[in-house]
Structure 1
Amino acid sequence: MRPRKLLRIARWEVTKNAGGVDRQTVVIALVALALFTLVVPFVMSGETGLDEGLYRVSVDEDSQFSAVVESESAFAVRDGDVKAVESGDVELYIEPGLITFANTTKGVAAYEQLQSSVDRYNNRELRQEVNQTAAFPVSVVLDYREQGGLGESLRIADSEDEESESSAETGDDSDGGETERSGESGATDGTDGDSSGESDGSPTLDSDGSGSNGGGIGGFGASFNEESVSGSPSDIDPPFPFQSLVLAFLVVIPLNFLIQAYGSTILSERTNRRGELLLVSPVSRFDIIGGKTLPYFLGGMVLESVIVAGLFLAIHGRPGGFISILAVTPLVLLFLSATFLGAMFARSFKELTFVTVTITVTLTSYAFVPAIFTDVGAVALISPLTLLVRELQTETIAISEFVFSTTPPLLCSGVFFGLGAGLYREEDMFDQRSLRGRVLDALVGPIPATGGTGWITGRLDSILPVNITPLRRYIAVGGLTVGLIPFVFVVQLLAIALLFALGEISIILILIVVAVVEELAKSLHIYAGYTHGLFASGRRTALFLGVASGVGFFIAEKVALLAQLVGLPELAVADAGLQGGIIPGPAGLTALLFLFAPLLLHVVTAAISAVGARRGKREYTLAVGLAMLVHLGYNLTVVSTLV
């Protein structure tokens, strides 16, 4: 690429072609983003509740529950008496010694909410006692352990067992008296004075006396600076990822608007042969693609930087988020590259809409689902958004964690741009081939035709001291298999994030995903080459193509060893999906099998698919299905050996 030409095309894109989205849509998107940005700081700080003012309560000022009701945002105080309950104006009526609630589902829920509020109120009162040892004489330490059985590595807590401070009940009653209910009412509202303590010091509380889970962006109602849990054992809840969800949506949603405009401008170049002038100009296809992408990439990065900086200012009162911005960069590239490839596949704006929706759902799931497990374990590191969440929590981020989270989407975006660039030529841009045909066209781009050099082998001619002309097609096939590895890795990571919580069955499902995705990655471009007449139809050629693809996949799949850096294989399902066919055993035997067994597997299965691909679509489908079964059987054998 030549920077001067690239920047000139980028300037043209901004001034003439920027966006296929009308001004009204842009204004709506900006207003929605602004409103969402205003709401987020309140959600993150826990100052707003989803149930605020949900239950209407009438309470006598002389009632001991008056202070409880006033302290809870879920209650809206109204004037009234027992008749107000009967008429449906309020759900609860509280007077000294008597609580009346409506005989409805909401009335029962309001009464249960009152019981929970009394518990919290009692805890707050006890925390204000000078003698905390007397107020909370019992300390309970929680030690989160691994589950047993096949899924023993499905962790409840982080990879390092954490001690969480909690509380236990005492035998003393506090602020609770027996009450009667009128009509259908009549219950006892007795609450225990709850005790709290910790093994190594006094608890850390916020201004309203509520505690939180350590580090707790995933804790319900917790803020970023709270470090302990205090209250009764009933107050101890598993991490609720509400705030993580807000973060994920805040960062990802703007990208969905961005790719709408980007996809439209790419497809507009293909309609009415509008992009033909650039194709015949003295610039390369990479200059054109880079110039058209650069404004959207810079715009996306500016938008994400503003969002990240705003989050840090709202939460910590200071600027920050450099690591978070770096972590979001691969996501921006991934969204743009997938949209570019989709726009090259689509034949019309109607098809582009379908492709864009598919990209939005898939990539949002990839970024969103793992991030909600931020407080659970290493599986969250599959998404780069987890790095943003952790930096907001002022947690230390290891280099290995950063590399593991950002490398797969970064490499995958390169694969998408490369495949799309293979179609950015006159014979492919302006035809009306089906989606299947365009996918096959993209896959054969790096494979040289008879007498040609191809993308990959053309660069090797000037480097290698030997003549590789007879081997060009085999090298190109192996190189293309290597190039598809990032896509395979991202799909496997997404499958792990979606399935790891299903228990033992998740391992079987992951192995099925691994077999299907890997066999398609090893054989689909071979089938594409046969459909374009690039390979001889002999069985020997097919076997050599299978060997080339299998060897390339074996070498490149070691990128999965990145998972070892962050402890992801501690999850049984992740170990099954990323172990790469390694059979455990003595050190010498393992070293031999580490090299031989997976290599043999990939070569054999790729050869099976290649032999079927040379004979046609039906035979290829049967052959690749057989290869998947062989692969699945091998993986099941390895996993059964592991466990």
Structure 2
Amino acid sequence: MSDETDQNPDRRSRRRRLRGALARTARISRWEVSRSAGTVDRKTVLVLAALALVVGLVGVSAAGEGVGLEDEIYVVAVDEDSQYHDVAVESEAFRPMPLDELVVESGDEANADVVVTRNGELARYGPHGEAAHDAFVEAIDAYNEERFRQEANETAAYPVHVELDYQERNFERTSEQGERDGSSNGDSDGGTGTGPAENGTGDDSTADGTGGEGSSDDGSGDATSGSTDGTDRNDGATDDGDGRLQVPNIGGAGGAVDGTVGPPGSISPPFPFQSLLLAFLFVVPMNFVIQAYGSTIMDERVKRRGELLLVSPASRREIVAGKTLPYLLGLVAVAVGITVAVRGGLLSIAAAIPIALLFLAATFAGAMLARSYKELTFVTVTISVFLTTYTFIPAVFTDVNPIALISPLTLIVTDLQGESVSLGEYVFSTGPFYCSAAVCFLLGIGVYREEDMFAQKALPAKVLDAIASRLHSYRSVAILTILFIPFVFAGQLLAVALLFAVPEQLAVPLIVVLAAAIEEVAKSVHVYAGFVRSRFEASLRVAAVLGVCSGAGFFVGEKLTHVVQFVGLPELTVGAAAFGPELSGDPLLAAAVFLAPLVLHVVTAVISAIGASRSRIDYVLTVVLATLVHAIYNVGVIALVA
């Protein structure tokens, strides 16, 4: 009874504190909304209205409903009894006029851009004649294609039926297949991996074994599908026969290929233009909201309004949460509205939330570090450009490469295409954003105090203050190293995304060095901040202990990122250079590859920590040395396992 009596007051006390914290946070949020609403002037309202109009027009246009910007921009003179008259009527870009009303002026001018003569020839007049001629030819092709689609006998309309199945290219097995074909068929090219395929008539033809599967229809309805890679495609991961996990299918090529039925000229490569454009609408409002959010944080510092909040019963976390909550809820409401407008699903909203969080968190940290509104403008523009680039560029490759999964915008594109994603793919895509946002808020809260908010310190000095505010013991060094893992992960993913299309001879060395440099900075920058701000004694023994703690912490955090093994990135050459190769099936080799990084991270962290304990120049030199050691290790591991 006594234990239960002791626990109940503690439980009631915790509940009371929680209710008090929520009440204070809600009160600050209401105050932030009322204060911000009072500062909205007519110019701001006009800007917001213009933004909403632009987003609406782009959304409607991308959704295929159109806004009529190209309706009847050309005039075509054609008789009503001409076979081309229906083409002009059905095309939105042309306005037909009777041939008798054609007036040709001196030179090359006329009251029509294109003329269809009575013998069926096309003539063009005026400065827009050439463009109108090309557009009319395309309209003729579209008209014929539509007639083919309406044909009841599909076999007669499309004597050749083409189906595309995009698959990953395997150069080793392609070469082996080519050698086998070369030994059995003297006139085949063994270097390209092509082999004979059988069509409906029994004639021999060749099918490229590296591009996918092809099938042909001879008109009788029989079709034989030839596969040259020996694998069966499924909706999940594919297995190449040796038990390795392959790249998961996160959307496939089927949703992105337009016109897979029809003439070969109508088949286009996978590029989700419409879905990508609609997904980008989720990011556009965030760039405007963070401007207002950063300004309100800056007001607290420049106009010293933050002093009243600092002396209030509310804690720093409650103050920041209360000021951030209205803007986050506003972005969520915008995301919900856009999702409804573009007919997306819950996945689009769930993917937009971490992007909004990181935009706000990075802006909060930047506003706490900036010394003036001019610096704040530079910081917010930098954040907008970097995060927009990070989210948009990988999403371009949604239907092409697993590298696209590093951006939550890819999840929105996938959702708009009607595809689904697994929980692991969602965590892989959004996890770095959630963690990075948490770290940015944590560092910003660290300098949300009087001695930093109202002091005119240089930006690097405030960064060191923000980091040093979280250092209290050796254990805090390891914890802070783990917290920096999301930034390391995001930086390496961005490097892979930017360099995966570069020739491997150049991309692999750059990735190896960049990945090592990013990790070494993340393992040592807080150690340097601790020495500069006198959190630790500047001695060799303390530096060695801090290096061991930082290296061990990074090792633990790094193992948590092995989720990349399950989304196919190590199968890319640049992915293996950044994150290491796939886990080997040999237990001893797998254990060595798993534990060897512990020694590496400890050694390189100790090297950097020793330099950090002496001076800034020594710190830079030791980081360079640690990067070289790390890069040499990465090259050795890749050569050993490959």
Question: TM-score scaled to structure 2, two decimals?
Answer: 0.79
**How many angstroms apart in 2 are the aligned matches of 1:328 and 1:23?**
29
Instruction: Name the SS of the counterpart of 1:501 in structure 2.
Output: coil
Residue 572 of structure 1 and its aligned partner are, at CA, apart by 3.0
**Identity within the alignment, %:** 48
Give the superposition deviation at 1:247: 1.8
Distance 1:322 1:217 in 2: 19
Match of 2:371, SS state, is coil
- Give the equivalent residue in structure 2 for 1:73: 92
Q: Does 1:296 align with 2:327?
A: yes
Q: CA RMSD in A?
A: 3.3
Is the 1:164–1:214 contact (alpha carbons within 8 Å) kept by the matching residues of 2? no
Partner of 1:602: 601
Structure 1 counterpart SS, 2:116: strand
Give the letter aligned to residue 553 of structure 2: G
Mark the runs of 5 or more structure 2 residues left unpaired by the alignment: 1-17, 175-209, 226-250
> Does 1:276 pair with 2:307?
yes
Q: 1:13 aligns with which of 19, 24, 32?
A: 32
Structure 1 runs not aligned, ≥5 long: 153-160, 171-194, 202-212, 223-227, 313-319, 449-471
**Equivalent position SS for 1:248:** helix
The one-letter amino acid of 1:506's match is A
Partner of 2:416: 392
2:625 maps to 626
In the TM superposition, what is the alpha-carbon distance from 1:62 to its structure 2 partner?
4.5
- Report SS of the residue matched to 1:329: helix
Rounded to whole Å, the distance in 2 between the matches of 1:387 and 1:9 is 34
Match of 1:243 in 2: 274
**Kept in 2: contact 1:447–1:476 (CA 8 A):** yes
Pick from 164, 167, 172 the counterpart of residue 142 of structure 1: 164
Question: Hey, what's the Cα distance between the residues in 1 that align with 2:265 and 2:600?
Answer: 52
2:120 equivalent in structure 1: 97
* 2:205 aligned residue: none
Report what 1:453 is aligned to: none
Three-state SS of the structure 1 residue aligned to 2:83 is coil
Q: Map residues 289-438 of structure 1 onto 2, 5 A cutoff.
A: 289-312=320-343, 321-438=345-462
Which whole-Å CA distance do the structure 2 matches of 1:400 and 1:594 have between them?
22
CA drift at 1:354: 0.5
Query: Which residue of the partner structure matches residue 208 of structure 1?
Result: none
**Aligned pair partner of 1:119 in 141, 161, 181:** 141
Whether 1:502 and 2:498 are equivalent positions in the alignment is: no
Q: CA deviation at 1:569?
A: 3.2
**In structure 1, what is the equivalent of residue 533 of structure 2?**
532
Cα distance change of structure 1 residues 397 and 214 upon mapping to structure 2, 3 Å threshold: closer
3-state SS, counterpart of residue 142 of structure 1? coil
In 2, the alpha carbon distance for the partners of 1:130 and 1:84 equals 49
Cα 1:286–1:198 change in 2 (3 A) is farther
Q: Which amino acid aligns with 2:549?
A: A
1:404 positional shift? 1.4
Q: For 1:385 and 1:630, how far apart are their aligned partners in 2?
A: 36
- Give SS of 2:317's match: helix
Provide the rounded CA distance (Å) in 2 between the counterparts of 1:350 and 1:85: 58
The separation in 1 between residues aligned to 2:130 and 2:359, in whole angstroms, is 47
**Relative contact order higher in (CA < 8 Å, ≥ 6 apart):** 1
**Secondary structure at 1:396's aligned position in 2?**
coil
Which residue of structure 1 aligns with residue 477 of structure 2? Answer: 477
Aligned to 1:86: 108
After superposition, the Cα gap between the structure-2 partners of 1:510 and 1:53, relative to the gap in structure 1 and judged at 3 Å, is farther
Q: Tell me if structure 2 keeps the 8 A contact 1:530–1:614.
A: yes
Aligned residues of 2:70 and 2:92 also touching (Cα < 8 A): yes
User: Tell me, what secondary structure is at the counterpart of 2:282?
Assistant: helix
> How do 1:255-266 and structure 2 match up within 5 A?
255-266=286-297
**Equivalent residues of 1:84, 1:90 under 8 A apart:** no
When residues 84 and 132 of structure 1 are mapped into structure 2, their CA distance, relative to the original with a 3 A threshold, is farther
SS of the aligned residue for 2:303 comes to helix
* 8 Å CA contact retained: 1:18, 1:261: no
Give 3-state SS (helix, strand or coil) of 1:557's partner: helix
**Which stretch shows the higher mean deviation, 350-359 or 538-547?**
538-547
CA contact (8 A) 2:443 2:467 kept: yes
C-alpha distance after superposition, 1:460-501 (max 9, x if no partner): xxxxxxxxxxxx2x2111111111111111222223333323
Is 1:593 the counterpart of 2:593 in the alignment?
yes
